[in-house]
Amino acid sequence: MDLVVGASNNAVKSLVNKLGSLLAQEYTLIRGVRDDIQYITDELASMQAFLNKIKRVGDHDEQRLDWMKQVREVSYDIEDCVDDVDHRLSSEPRGSGALVYLRKKWYLLTTLYARHCVATEIGNLKARAQHVSERRTRYGVENTGNVENTGANDPQDRLVPPPQLFGTKEPVGLEDAMKELEPWFSNGSQQSTGNQLRFLAIFGSGGLGKTTLAMALYRKFGDDFGCRASVLASQKFNLRTVLGRLIKTFQEQQSGASMEEIEETDKLGEEDLKSKLDNLLKKKRYLILIDDVWSVSAWEKFRDSLPKNEKGGTIVVTTRFKSVSEACRRRNGRSYEHKPLLEESSYNLFLETISGAVIDDLCITRPINSPMIMKACRGLPLAIIVVAGLMASKLKANQESNLDSLLEKVDKELSAVHAVLGNNLTTEGVTRILDQCYKDLPADLKTCLLYLSMFPKGCLISRKCLLRRWIAEGFVVEKDGKTVEEVAEHCFSELIDRNLVRPVNNSSNGKVKSCQIHDMVLEYIVAKSSDENFITVFGGHWQTPFPSYKVRRLSVQRSDGKESEKVGRMRLSHVRSLTALGSLRALHSTLHKFQILQVLDLEGCKDLSYKQLKKICKMHQLKYLSLRQTDVKEVPTKIGRLESLEVLDIRETSITKLPESVDKLQRMEHLLAGNKNKRHALKLTEAITKMTALQTLSGVEICTDLATEVLRDLQKLTNLRKFTIYKVSCTSSNFELLLSAIEHLSSCSLKYLAIDDDFTGFLDTSLNASQAPPEHLHTLGLSGKLSQVPEWIVSLHNLEKLTLSLTSLTTDALVVLAKLPELFSLIFSLDSTSNNAIVLKTLHDNTLKSDGNIFVPPEGFQKLKLLRFAAPVLPPLSFLEGAMPVLQRIELRFIMVEGVYGLENLSSIQQVVLTVSSQAPKDAKEKAHQIKELASMIHGKSNALSVVLDEYNESTEQK
């Protein structure tokens, strides 16, 4: 029950600042209101001091918990009132003179009722704050005395995490399980199964690593099947949803499937989905992984929906329940109980986890007490990694600490769990361990972690979107000389280091791109959020009680008739954050109630109408608005009313122009637009150039009819850090102005620049000849006709990522690029779906200039870890001895490939990814298999080289 301390403290802290700001403004309030506001401010400041003193206490009695809940609720209500004051009483005339005097009198007259209502509300809230304060002493909610400062909440001066290519690590301790189950797969591939389906059920308690084992088997044997797919079940099993996701995965693997056909799947009923699945798999041997089945009835519904054909199918099931595994076994299946890790594997996993988080190789230079690890964690992988994360955080807070003594302390803290549960650490035991790790978090981190319950089980969470939402919610603020973005990055890295959040994919710049939460961690924080009225999750994977308080943050994860009715019964007028996944159906009749929203995420909602958008434009407190992947084609002109808006995400929509009223959005920091795959872009307008707070301007088009003044005004965006131009369609007469703007912005704050000149010649004739190159860039992307790599590129000493698309690629270019001292990733691509004559000529010229071969030189590229080539036809690629000494990953994407040579010369190579088009001829696919087999025989310094062969469907990529 520790959340309420953090939630209450954060709510009060935020509110005290807002009340101070309100008093500083010169509103003409009803007499006595200012005194009431000052009283509330002083009372809340005292409450905050009390909360700060007790927040380090792990356990609280019921009276203290109840009092803290009251503090939280009254704080939320006062904040709602303050924000409403700011809206209703804004625009008061200022100045002197007869005209201003008359305007002031008119203002006082027209706002009299509003000011009276504000006075009444503030008076009532003052009384509530006074009563809450009195209850603390009336019912004995006293101070706890001196509380030991463990140091867990002290600010740490963290270094920026170094760039990494791989988000996930290879699993530990699966060798015995893999060895035991491999024959089942191997024998199955040799048998003629006829119309039979084969089932493998892996069962065991939560946190045991069932999904990790199942995915390892899925990856290892997946290539033996004609097609494969994985799908997530849940406690709230929905057959239609599961079948729909399964079909979409199989459709994306079909060479003839289109995006329109895939999107039509959402409209089908259960019987139509079963029929479609049967047609997709009619003549194929398939592999399906269904993860986390909770009941026999859910399993039987899914099993009876699977098609039977002459090729046969193999289904792998993970479940916490033996009854489900037995139901699988009885129908031509096998039941496998996944066991906890042995002591040696537990030790290795703990060592690997903590070694990546602490400094000075503390854990590598001396042994760790492995029996103590086994005793504390009982061999459960999830328990081991979160305890390792807890140990690492304590070591960083106090580097003089002894690791063994810390382990003993944690074991002692968990002794109550062991006394009740014995040696068999069950799901409840893992929950208790998570609770211990949660209590050790600083208050800010608790809030950031709990916010992740907004996202559904199995969801890949974008790091950038998450950080922007934290900032919009006010969970992170500037402190210790760091910007709010740096503080948010710090919080994210801390959650990663503590292993409460798992990185999944890393971007080509080495930063985490997306993350995921283990389902047991998510289940824990969903329950915490629900219990403390922090976030209300509706239609999620777990049963949660109907909210008894006013809803403050709402996540609608499924929309149907039942959900619509239940949402309509909630108290929604106090909701500050709303996330709807896939559909707005449950909110159609209630959207007008969300008047104080600060965060609205409607990504992927396909039923968002223009009428509903107009309602959104009345939500004057909005700071974050995501319409990404919706069917929206036009933004209402009244969007200018959203003067608090800081983030607008309209990527992958049909919006190509914003109304002129956006010039009023002076707080806008991130404008994200365009569709890179479809080559749709947002037109740069004069109104956009007036949004001078912009830090990110992504996905714009420099149009033919653009006035020269707009290009000149572009230079005013001096705060711009990221600028991506999806299309340059202006005439050559404007090239000089565009170049001048880019050069000026590069001398200010710009760190990320990407330009697609659409073969207009801007890159070759203007940018290539720049006299003031963007020397401070960290990321550069150039796409279009570029006859040679710009000579000035060697002056970009801070460049970490370089992308060259549709450009000439030669060995000479590689010799030039090898001189870049900080280059982390290098990407070459040629559009494989385009029939553009210029593109085809570029491809032909590449072949002539390189004599049909590309040689990677033996010197330079001292920090390059990622190399990616993508083209319809890849020429022979040869790595000379000593080439790219720290290269870890090579990605090749193609329809045809000649060959890859010299991989054995890459001393640090860890992974080769070959992605061949599903429309490639048979001999090309055979060539790809040959490359895979040859590459698989090469060993790195310590481990065998990982080689991945996959296919992509060009028709679904919407080029």
Q: Which of 162, 163, 170 is nearest to 911 (CA)?
A: 170
Listed in sequence order, the DSSP H helices in 889-959 are 922-936
Looking at residue 596, its pLDDT comes to 85
CA-CA distance, 553 to 598, in Å (whole number)?
10
- Would you tell me which CATH number, out of the four given (1.20.1410, 2.60.40, 1.20.1070, 1.10.260), belongs to the domain 1-139? 1.20.1410
Looking at residue 890, its pLDDT comes to 93
**Higher per-residue pLDDT: 39 or 483:** 483
Res. 651 pLDDT band, cuts 50 70 90: very high
What DSSP letter does each residue of 195-217 carry, written as one string?
T-EEEEEEE--TTS-HHHHHHHH
What's the rounded mean pLDDT across residues 331-348?
A: 85
**Higher per-residue pLDDT: 737 or 547:** 737
Q: Which two tokens stand for residue 74?
A: 């009254």
Q: Which of 813, 811, 757 is nearest to 785 (CA)?
A: 757
Q: Which of 606, 553, 610 is nearest to 584 (CA)?
A: 606
Q: Round the average pLDDT of the chain to a whole number and report it.
A: 80
Contacts of residue 218, defined as CB under 8 A and 6 or more positions apart, other chains included, come to: 228, 230, 287, 289, 316
Question: Any idea which of 108-117, 329-338, 560-569, 764-773 has the lowest mean pLDDT?
Answer: 108-117
* Phi, psi angle pair for 852, to nearest 5°: 80, 0
Question: Bridge-partner residues for 948, per DSSP?
Answer: 913
Res. 820 pLDDT band, cuts 50 70 90: very high
What's the rounded mean pLDDT across residues 683-693?
A: 94
Q: Which two tokens stand for residue 793?
A: 């590129």
Looking at residue 400, its pLDDT comes to 60
Question: Do 505 and 167 meet the contact criterion of CB atoms below 8 Å apart?
Answer: yes
Q: Which of 418, 534, 412, 432 is nearest to 76 (CA)?
A: 534
**Higher per-residue pLDDT: 11 or 881:** 881
The single residue listed with the structure tokens 């625009």 is 91
Question: Any idea which of 114-123, 296-305, 476-485 has the lowest mean pLDDT?
Answer: 114-123
Query: Coil, strand, or helix at residue 817?
Result: helix
Question: Do 567 and 556 meet the contact criterion of CB atoms below 8 Å apart?
Answer: yes
* Phi, psi angle pair for 855, to nearest 5°: -110, 130
* Phi, psi angle pair for 752, to nearest 5°: -130, 120
DSSP state, 448? H
CA-CA distance, 473 to 452, in Å (whole number)?
13
pLDDT at residue 429 greater than cutoff 70: yes
pLDDT at residue 10 greater than cutoff 60: no
Looking at residue 677, its pLDDT comes to 78
What's the rounded mean pLDDT across residues 800-816?
A: 83
The single residue listed with the structure tokens 């399980």 is 177
Distances (CA, A) of 861 to 141, 667, 719, 809: 64, 41, 32, 17
pLDDT at residue 291 greater than cutoff 60: yes
Question: Any idea which of 168-182, 506-520, 654-668 has the lowest mean pLDDT?
Answer: 168-182
What's the rounded mean pLDDT across residues 96-123?
A: 66
Amino acid of residue 290: I
Q: Which of 906, 842, 910 is nearest to 878 (CA)?
A: 906
CATH superfamily for domain 176-186+195-337:
P-loop containing nucleotide triphosphate hydrolases (3.40.50.300)
Looking at residue 360, its pLDDT comes to 45
Looking at residue 726, its pLDDT comes to 92
pLDDT at residue 806 greater than cutoff 60: yes
CATH match of 453-534 with 1.20.120: no
Sign of the alpha-carbon torsion through 95, 96, 100, 102: positive
Sign of the alpha-carbon torsion through 829, 833, 839, 842: positive
DSSP state, 942? S
- Determine if residue 300 is left, alpha or beta; phi over 0 gives left, psi from -120 to 50 gives alpha, anything else beta: alpha
**Higher per-residue pLDDT: 759 or 568:** 759
Looking at residue 734, its pLDDT comes to 86
Q: Which two tokens stand for residue 368?
A: 């760790």
pLDDT at residue 409 greater than cutoff 80: no
What's the rounded mean pLDDT across residues 141-157?
A: 47
pLDDT at residue 462 greater than cutoff 70: yes
Task: Identify each DSSP E strand in 717-771 by its residue range.
Answer: 722-728, 752-756
Query: Coil, strand, or helix at residue 855?
Result: strand
Question: Bridge-partner residues for 682, per DSSP?
Answer: 700
HSE value, Cβ hemisphere, 13 Å, CA-based, for 391: 31
Question: Do 612 and 600 meet the contact criterion of CB atoms below 8 Å apart?
Answer: no
CA-CA distance, 457 to 522, in Å (whole number)?
7
> For residue range 248-275, what is the model confidence (pLDDT) as tens digits?
888 877 766 666 676 677 778 888 888 8
Q: How many CB atoms lie within 10 A of CB 476?
A: 24
pLDDT at residue 312 greater than cutoff 50: yes
Question: Any idea which of 74-83, 222-231, 846-855, 888-897 has the lowest mean pLDDT?
Answer: 846-855
How do 553-556 and 512-516 pair as beta strands?
unpaired
pLDDT at residue 54 greater than cutoff 70: no
Q: Write the secondary structure of 278-291 as one string of H (helix), E (strand) and C (coil).
A: HHHCCCCCEEEEEE
pLDDT at residue 192 greater than cutoff 60: no
pLDDT at residue 359 greater than cutoff 50: no
HSE value, Cβ hemisphere, 13 Å, CA-based, for 534: 29
DSSP state, 832? T
Give the chain's end-to-end CA distance (angstroms, integer): 51
Q: What is the pTM of this model?
A: 0.86
Looking at residue 248, its pLDDT comes to 85
CA-CA distance, 389 to 353, in Å (whole number)?
7
62-71 CB burial, b ≥16 within 10 A, e <16: eebbebbbbb
Q: Which two tokens stand for residue 574?
A: 């106090």
Looking at residue 667, its pLDDT comes to 94
Looking at residue 14, its pLDDT comes to 55
Res. 49 pLDDT band, cuts 50 70 90: low
Looking at residue 6, its pLDDT comes to 41
